[in-house]
Amino acid sequence: MTVLTRIEEQGCGCGTADQPGDLISIDEAVAQILRNAGHVRESEEVALAGARGRTLAEPIAAIAAAPPFDNAAMDGFALNTACLVGPGPWRLPVVTRIPAGQRGSEPLPMGAAAQIFTGALMPDGADAVVMQENVRRTENTIIVSHEILAGAHVRRKGEDMAAGDMVVPAGRTLTGRDIAACAAAGRATVCVRRRLRVALVVTGDEVNSPGRTLSSGGIWDVNTPMLSALIPAPEIELVDVLGFRDNRAALRQQLSALADEVDLIVTTGGISVGEEDHVKPALSDLGLDMVFSGVAIKPGKPVSYGRLGQAHWLGLPGNPLSAFVTWQLFGTVLCQSLAGNSASSPDRRHVVLSQELRHSYGRCEVRLAEISGFDSTGREIVRFDKTTHSGRVARLPAADGVILIPSEVEVLPEGALVEFQPFRD
């Protein structure tokens, strides 16, 4: 029996364990995807406001300084601190008024003040702003009762970014934060990678569309609606969703056509070794370049990846939980890499087990888990299922992600650290 209280390895920790047959580890499968995926080459210019979630093809540099001039950070009064000599209070005449957006004003005379508003251009001769709350005003005079330091409440030209500064690097999937920085850099449009074109092919004689009367021996089709919801994203276009009976010739014909039209073909089912598993044979007939076939993982062992001409192929298992988990582990990484996202590695972190965990030696297991709080040192605690069933999805809504249990582990005590990978919905 193996007992571990801490898992320090980079990755899921099963990369060096003996794997059954020709199966590879989760981390090796991810590495092979990243080595083989590349990214789409074409790009397009899009409006900045509509660029969230798109992958930047060219870096963003500031067109001009931001802010473009010295300006007031507060509503108040601009003055020259050199005039505040001797013991206070100091009485200063207010000689002008400067709202935001005004082109400029006459230089401020020494010993005078200008009423100024947030964002307004600082007048020549002024080096600080005193907040309006900190003065007493009587008609056209203010009384300053405490010392003001030079530069107080002044935003200096270029303090946020100078002209030519690199603001957002290429390869980044744009967030609202990035868009804010691009706007401050003066950009109205950005150059992004074109959207990834993906086709989904769901196989199986037994699957029936939800809502329809089940056929004899039929089951509801979970994979089509599930993956049709998971795959599309701002940088991903789901161009086709097809359902096929278990027929090798029909699959071969359709997969051949799709390989000329899309960047990625995602299939579910038909990739095991049974007589009715026709996806791999159909792809083999077409000359598939297989990168890997099977991963030492529970659930999802049959998951496979390869190249068919210029298109990529990801074969997911047919059982719904297996399809969901393998899409999260491998499909999201593949799509990010193909879309040109420079941060395409899995997003994992260590968490603390809420209870003892037991696991069968042999394959790395991914088990549904939910974040349930924090321990006394601030580490996240996860609750998790005691077993994994590849066809059950009722627990998915409550799960935040999966814990990755290394293949060589049989028991982990309560409080042990394991890796956790959150879901991307």
Q: How confident is residue 308, by pLDDT bands cut at 50, 70 and 90?
A: very high
Is residue 78 scored above 90 in pLDDT?
A: yes
Query: Which domains occur in the chain, in start order?
Result: 26-42+195-339 (3.40.980.10), 49-66+160-193 (3.90.105.10), 71-155 (2.170.190.11), 349-422 (2.40.340.10)
* DSSP string over 178-243: HHHHHHHTT-SEEEEEPPEEEEEEEE-TTEE-TTSPPPTT-EE--HHHHHHHHS-BTTEEEEEEEE
Residue type, 109: P
Query: What pLDDT is stored for residue 274 in this prediction?
Result: 65
Tallying the residues shown for the chain, one arrives at 425
Confidence of residue 2 (pLDDT cuts 50, 70, 90): very low
pLDDT for the residue 6: 41
Mean pLDDT in residue range 265-278: 82
Residue 229 phi/psi, 5° resolution?
Answer: -85, -35
> How many percent of the chain have pLDDT more than 90?
76
How many angstroms separate the CA atoms of 402 and 362, rounded?
18
- Ranges 140-144, 317-321, 385-389: which has the least confidence: 385-389
Residue 10 confidence (pLDDT) above 60 = no
Q: Reply yes or no on whether the pLDDT at 187 is more than 90.
A: yes
pLDDT of residue 364: 92
pLDDT at position 180 is 97
Reported as a single tens digit per residue, the pLDDT across 284-296 is 999 999 999 999 9
pLDDT, residue 8, reads 40
Calculate the average pLDDT of the chain: 90
**Whether residue 154 has pLDDT greater than 90:** yes
Find all residues with CB under 8 Å of 16, minimum gap 6, and list them: 25
121-138 b/e (C-beta count within 10 Å ≥ 16 → b): bbbebbbbbbeeeebeee
The reported pLDDT for the residue numbered 276 is 66
Q: Which two tokens stand for residue 405?
A: 């249990």
- Is pLDDT above 50 for 3? no
Average pLDDT over residues 403-416: 94
CA–CA separation, 196 and 257 (whole Å): 17
pTM: 0.85
Residue with tokens 């965990």: 357
